[in-house]
Amino acid sequence: MSTYRQPGVVLTDRHFAVPLDHRDPGGEQLELFGREVVAGSRAGDELPWLVYLEGGPGFGARRFIGRQAWLGRAVQEYRVLLLDQRGTGRSGPQNRQTLAERGGPEAQAEHLARFRADSIVRDCEVVRHRLTGGAPWTVLGQSFGGFCATHYLSTAPHGLSAVLVTGGLPSLDASADDVYRAAYPRIQRKAEAHYARYPQDIRRARRIAAHLAEHPTVLPGGYTLTPEAFQSLGILLGSGDGSHQLHYLLESAFVRVGRRHELSDAFQEAVLATLSFAAHPLYAVLHEAIYAQGERATDWAAERVRAEFPQFDTATALADDGPLLFTGESVHPWHFEVDPALRPLRECADALAARTDWEPLYDATRLAANQVPVAAAVYHDDMYVDTEHALRTARTIRGLRTWVTDEYEHDGVRASGSRVLDRLLGLARGEL
């Protein structure tokens, strides 16, 4: 352990050994990393614990500085653990480099099947016992972290004193096909709202896509920017300021070189920073696996379902005068062709997409008998998590209180400062 200070807080780096496979506790171990954060004025106090589960899959816990975002509110009364979920951050990161040591694609896929919500929750239980001596703790789950929290309620509610979910109530029984069939209309609405705000971007986006159709561009580092990859910049539209970020990105796309125009270096660097999976490859590799339950293969659901929405086809859009629709909240086989961080993992991803022996993640009967205080922020028309799916689950979990709002997008818990967390705490405690 190492302890140090930032403005207003004391941080301690902690490490925990957990079984790679919880069915074999004496087998291979995995080292998890978590950063404890406590208010400087309360560093010596006995405080309840709150563990934060980041969204994803594939993202380590956010690296805050001092009391940023919701953390300032949390440390008023909690000792916070920012836990890097297995395979992310400093918790045994899984990528093209480390997975190569696991053998071939099938062996890699078998290994990564242990990196879903079920294993993450079992990790949390090991960590909880070591930190609290067995006392329950509060879970704050953002996005995929909320999926993990829902699994936690299904399998180990005795470990929970309260659950707070932000933009992350999953469907309990929807297949990956169902998820994307609901997602594409939402993504289209986000793209149309962007163009209503910035109509000049209709022409800009079409011009960039047309240029890429004739001149696929290899970005610094080897990422091949195709028209479909360009469309996936719509991932920005799921955050509160994402539409503005996208607008500023598009306006600087071209630079004049003599009599011709080329995509500028600045544009290429910004696109690479947005689209590359180098820092979070599990987001792509496990993206559809987080929805998998039972014997049904995901089978590249986002790609198959997209065929039901021809308005997203780039060639069709460029052949007429309509706007090019952005995408974003979906992963496709071509991602594993254009991104050098993913190319070595294509066969592993195929093996995961074909897998038919997934463990169930949620227990509707147990959730209906829930005794743990639960509060959830549901962001209206959230691009990442379907509102109707979320509200159906909310009605299943006994005692869950929802706050449905269109004031924020998917990143509301960060963008709102302390407001979203404060509201959820009040709901969970019956104060609101």
Annotation says 357 is catalytic:
yes
Examine the domain organization and report whether 156 and 82 are in the same domain: yes
CATH code for the domain in which residue 99 is found: 3.40.50.1820
Q: Which of 322, 354, 386 is the last residue of a domain?
A: 354
Residue tagged active-site, from 91, 177, 410, 411 = 410
Whole-number Å distance between alpha carbons of 267 and 17:
43
- Based on the domain organization, do 346 and 255 belong to the same domain? yes
Q: For residues 197 and 168, state if they share a domain.
A: no
The pLDDT value recorded for residue 243 is 98
**Both 154 and 22 in a single domain?**
yes
At residue 216, the pLDDT reads 83
Of 311, 330, 354, which one is at a domain's C-terminal end?
A: 354
Does residue 368 sit in the same domain as residue 386? yes
44 and 58 inside one domain: yes
Q: Is 244 part of the annotated catalytic residue set?
A: no
**The one catalytic residue among 24, 320, 321, 357:** 357
What predicted TM-score, i.e. pTM, was given to this entire model? 0.96
Yes or no: say if 361 and 154 are a contact pair by the CB < 8 Å rule.
yes
Question: What pLDDT shows up at residue 321?
Answer: 86
Residue where a domain stops, chosen among 307, 336, 354: 354
- Considering the domain architecture, whether residues 224 and 329 belong to the same structural domain is answered as yes
Catalytic residue among 84, 111, 118, 143: 143
Q: Are residues 14 and 126 in the same domain?
A: yes
Same domain for 306 and 242, yes or no, is yes
Instruction: Based on the fold, state whether residues 285 and 399 are members of the same structural domain.
Output: no
Same domain? For 102 and 230 the reply is: no
Angle, CA 190 vertex, CA 187 and CA 193 arms, to 5°: 150
Number of domains composing the chain: 2
Its domain, for residue 318, covers 176-354
Kindly report the three-state secondary structure assignment for every residue of the chain.
CEEEEECCEEEEEEEEEEECCCCCCCCCEEEEEEEEEEEHHHCCCCCCEEEEECCCCCCCCCCCCCCCCCHHHHCCCCEEEEECCCCCCCCCCCCHHHHHHHCCHHHHHHHHCCCCHHHHHHHHHHHHHHHHCCCCEEEEEECHHHHHHHHHHHHCHHHEEEEEEECCCCCCCCCHHHHHHHHHHHHHHHHHHHHHHCCHHHHHHHHHHHHHHHCCEECCCCCEECHHHHHHHHHHHHCCCHHHHHHHHHHCCEEEECCEEEECHHHHHHHHHHHCCCCCHHHHHCCCHHHCCECCCCCCHHHHHHCCCHHHCHHHHHHCCCCCCCCCCCCCCCHHHHCCCCHHHHHHHHHHHHCCCECCCCCHHHHHCCCCCEEEEEECCCCCCCHHHHHHHHHHCCCCEEEEECCCCCCHHHHCCCHHHHHHHHHHCCCC
Supply the pLDDT for residue 429: 97
73 CB-near residues (< 8 Å, 6+ apart): 417, 418, 421, 422, 425
The reported pLDDT for the residue numbered 109 is 98
Among 16, 32, 292, 283, CA closest to 151: 292
Mean pLDDT by 10 residues, the chain (432 residues): 95 98 96 98 96 97 96 98 98 97 97 98 98 97 98 98 98 97 97 98 97 94 97 97 98 92 96 97 98 96 97 92 92 98 98 97 98 98 96 98 97 96 98 93
Q: Which pLDDT value is given to residue 328?
A: 85
Tell me: do 220 and 113 sit in the same domain.
no
Active site residue 143: yes
